[in-house]
Amino acid sequence: MRIDILTILPELLQGPFSESIMKRAQERGLLDLNVHNIRDYSKNKHNKVDNTQYGGGAGMVMTIQPIADLIKKLQSERTYDEIIFMTPDGEVLKQEICNDLSLKGNIIILCGHYKGIDERIREHFITKEISIGSYVLTGGELAACVVVDSVVRLIPGVINDETSALTDSFQDNLLSPPVYTKPAEYNDWKVPNVLLSGDFAKIDKWREEKALERTKKRRPDILK
């Protein structure tokens, strides 16, 4: 899978993309991640990428030219399945969107800033708008990291234990059941007996019950 990220703050993305699963996915050739600095494409003599908004009002708006030129350059090199804009007024990210994106070949993710981007970019280039929740971030970069992380871990071969991503919370509209590890007893805090029983049918049943109980209590909205 190839992901191109368009940003005015490329340094902000370096840390998250060079550790753990993201690092491994790139080393294994399963993820081709490219971060582009929008400013490099500005034809303005001061490399400006924003301007005041028509009609007046506080806050700068990202201009069309550098973003359009960068997207057109990328599109001349390959076909993109999706051109995503990270924005608080987009569709709220959920597991199904991540599953769907993990099956794509090439995607662009555009990170917004300031008051937003010129609406014509959204009208003419963007195919999908994603929000990571009902709050406003300073820019789309952290939101883009969330999308990339949640998508990349679903690409076959990225996570070592193949079944692990499939048993994530949300995959079957259930939260995950509680998990425990050694020691079986810490002070007087005990691991539930059933998990030590070796009876795997009973363990599966216990896990299903706990997952359902937890989902009903904490996230009844996701229950089918």
| Residue numbers at the binding site for ligand ADE (CB under 6 A) | 86-88, 112, 131-133, 135-137, 140, 143
User: CB of 190: closest distance to ligand ADE in angstroms?
Assistant: 41
Shortest reach from residue 149's CB to ligand ADE, in Å: 14
Q: Which is nearer to ligand ADE, 136 or 201 (CB)?
A: 136
Q: What's the min distance (Å) between Cβ of 129 and ligand ADE? A: 9
Residue nearest to ligand ADE (CB): 143
Closest CA to 3 of 150, 160, 162, 164: 150
How far, in whole angstroms, is CA 92 from its chain's centroid?
11
- Taking the least distance from each CB to ligand ADE, the nearer of 117 and 158 is 117
SS3 sequence of 78-106: CCCCEEEEEEEEEEECCHHHHHHHCCCCE
Report yes or no: 129 and 95 within 8 Å, Cβ to Cβ: no
Paired strand residues for 51: 61
CB of 67 to ligand ADE, least distance (A): 15
Comparison of 135 and 189: residue with beta carbon closer to ligand ADE: 135
Minimum distance from residue 89 beta carbon to ligand ADE (Å)? 9
Nearer to ligand ADE by Cβ, of 70 and 111: the residue is 111
114 vs 170, which CB is nearer to ligand ADE? 114
| Position 2, amino acid | R
**Of residues 1 and 84, the one with the C-beta less far from ligand ADE:** 84
Write b or e for each residue in 116-142: b if 16 or more Cβ atoms lie within 10 A of its Cβ, otherwise e: bbbeebbeebbebbbbbeeeebebbbe
Which DSSP letter does residue 189 get?
E
Indicate left, alpha or beta for 170 from its phi (over 0: left) and psi (-120 to 50: alpha): left
CA distance 211 to 218: 10
Residue 138: CB minimum distance to ligand ADE, A? 7
